[in-house]
Amino acid sequence: MKKISNEHSGEPGIRPSLKDQLREGASANQPIQDQLITDTLEQNYMPYAMSVIVSRAIPEIDGFKPSHRKLLYTMYKMGLLNGNRTKSANVVGQTMKLNPHGDLAIYETMVRMTRGNGSLLHPYVDSKGNFGRQYSRDMQFAASRYTEVRLDKICEELFRGLDKDAVDFADNYDGTMKEPCLLPATFPTILVNSNQGIAVGMASNICSFNLSEVCKATIAFMKDPTVDIIDLMPAPDFPGGGIILYEEETMRQVYETGRGPVRVRSKYQVDRKNNIIEIIEIPYSTTAEAIIDEISELVRSGKIKEVSDIRDETDLDGLKICIECKRGTDPAALMTKLFRFTKLEDTFSCNFNVLINGMPRVLGVRAIIAEWLCWRRACQKRELLFDLKKKRNRLHLLDGLSKILLDIDKAISIIRNTELEADVIPNLIKGFAIDAEQAEYVAEIKLRNINRQYILNRTADRQQLENEIKDIEDILSKPKRLDALIVSTLENVAKRFGKDRRSELLKAENAATFTDDKMIEDYNLKLFLTEHGYIKKLSLTSLRSAGDLKTKEEDHIIIEAEGKNKSEVLFFSSACCVYKMRIHEISDTKPSELGTYLPNILNSEPGERILFMLITDDYSGELLFAFENGKASRIPLIAYETKQNRKKLIHACYEGSPIVSILYLTEPVDLAAFSSLRKAIVFSSALIPVKATRNSQGVQVLVSKKGSRMVTVMRLSEVGFTDPEYYRIRKTPAIGYYLKEETLENRQLTLGEE
């Protein structure tokens, strides 16, 4: 193999590293210096990240991102607030003077603000043409050359005061134009219309609220900052409607912290004649195509069997997804299932991240209203100061005009006798003791207006101007009067543009929900456990037609229990543990099969034996444990119920002596206990007190004599004593009575001796 020469290192076959090449390339200019990674991030990455956060993705307190603001301001300057519609392409082209992005990016921004798209609760752009739909993934908007737009009437409230120095202006990207840093919106647009953005390391996801409710809440907050805002605006209001599953605690979390989920369900109606469910409103965060795809997949996988067809019948009247059901289907039950497994119920994750004075802050609703009011008061003051300055200037000019009134002929004479035009203003200043501005105003009066009536009419406004100036000064000095102006504006906005809520509210606890149990088929069955640890699960229908149940050689069934597929089964082991399972988790078996090896399912320890098996639905009843040392305990079954759905419980019973019997009791019964000395007692289970602690040792029932042990405890009905009263005891403990052969009906009952 030919070696590669390396002139830099002098060693054949070795290429210089990239770092060496960079060092050599930089050696002619300046040496490369090592730099901390934190410094590199700060100098190179942070400026980009901050630019995205501040200048692109996060909305400001006026409710707009820079791209929105530039577009609306361009349309305002084009006269589209009161004029006719113009082609969207025209607006896009003009906006590029302020927004140095491609025309498609600007047009997409416009599309989301239009009435036709439906993304906003109160659209800012009145549109004509196809702008797609917010609830559709595949419905594309038409090209900008085909559509027409103008500003909606509500935009009057966005630009009111813009020409009165209400906000600051800044140069555009090339310094040829001025654009507003914020829009002086007269209502909290930040809450009224939804806004989403993804920046670098942070994001913003603001939902919309009803305009009337926001205005009422803002007015109430101005009057009393401690008011409970949730009483006035209880929940968001989405443009697409839907049903909000209302949880007051979660909603308060959103209102206070600015973060939290809002669950929204689709709204539907049922055509019972044709057995069709019509979805007419869906959550704001999803699309019709996504929902159809999810339902179709559920039908294909067999999880939903009630649906025969699904189609999109959306038209000019709005959204409509038709779900055709099979005969006999319960629409309400089907919808609860679809709410559980599809985005017919979805969650809007609130993240109220807003730029306040150039800094991103996550604020709750109350804090956003407070920040908006602080900003709005500043805008209102600037408007008043602008009016005040203009009126003072007007008053100043009228003061000069009133002096001319004293001798109009003198003014005419001064102007006529002045040889040079440049000397007119100085001569008027000298002749009437007025300043240059007043003299300029007098000199510009038309010849036809040099009459006493005109001058008297102009000077008559002087008193009114003085009153207006005093009124503005009074407003600026009294915060309550300033707030009254804002309140009046909010009331007017709510009256003009307020609408009824689109999203209905439904308390979450009243909403029908679907649980996983409803997907499980329920039927009557029987469980069989063999001595070698095999468990067989057979439905009662298959059991009736079955013959002998197959088991391994030298194996036989030791425990059997009857129940339902949705029930729970408890296995009590010789290691004083309880294993819990849902019966539906156990595989169905045929009578001809051996069954499932239970230790593999339970992950039990080697040598651990299952002593008792119990099926339960509600954990009612009690368990009686009998131990070899003669003790017995009674434990309520509810003690084995756990909220965490644990699979294994240790220390499930008394561990001081081996278990000889476990009985399930629902009421007091007579029991018979036997010892290894062939002694027996008959007693009522009520003699054993109930203990809430699972590992309670209980009480002594049978006294040990000569090292004897208790062998078993059985129900008296299963023993077959002909004279049970002979063995009965009235209190515990007892020594017991020797068994008499003539009292045993069941001669096969044998007890081992020590």
Active site (catalytic) residues: 146
Q: How many CB atoms lie within 10 A of CB 170?
A: 9
Q: Which residues contact 13 (CB under 8 A, 6 or more apart)?
A: 3, 4, 5, 6
SS3 640: helix
Q: At residue 570, what is the residue type?
A: L
Query: Which helix (DSSP H) or strand (DSSP E) does residue 325 occupy?
Result: strand 321-325
In sequence order, the β-bridge partners of residue 408 are none
Phi, psi (degrees; rounded to nearest 5) at 195: -150, 125
SS3 671: strand
SS3 636: strand
Q: Which token pair is 271?
A: 């055509």
The DSSP letter of residue 533 is: S
Q: How many CB atoms lie within 10 A of CB 148?
A: 17
Q: How many CB atoms lie within 10 A of CB 181?
A: 12
Determine the Cα–Cα distance for residues 695 and 712; give it in Å rounded to an integer: 19
CA 128, 133, 134, 135 dihedral sign is positive
Q: In sequence order, what E strands does 42-199 have?
A: 86-87, 125-128, 148-151, 169-171, 178-180, 195-198
Closest-CA residue to 75 (of 86, 66, 64): 86
Give the long-range contacts of residues 128-131, CB within 8 A, separation 24 or more. 128/85, 129/88
Closest-CA residue to 152 (of 96, 238, 98, 211): 211
CB contact at 8 A, 385 and 393? no
- Burial per residue of 552-565, b for 16 or more beta-carbon CB atoms within 10 angstroms, e otherwise: eeeeeeebebebeb
Closest-CA residue to 702 (of 678, 667, 669): 678
Torsion of CA 670, 674, 680, 685, to 10 degrees: -20
Q: Which token pair is 583?
A: 């019966």
Q: Which residues contact 34 (CB under 8 A, 6 or more apart)?
A: none
The Cα-based distances of 569 to 561, 610, 624, 648, 712 in angstroms read: 9, 12, 17, 12, 24
Q: At residue 12, what is the residue type?
A: P
Query: Which helix (DSSP H) or strand (DSSP E) does residue 579 occupy?
Result: strand 578-582
Determine the Cα–Cα distance for residues 589 and 494; give it in Å rounded to an integer: 68
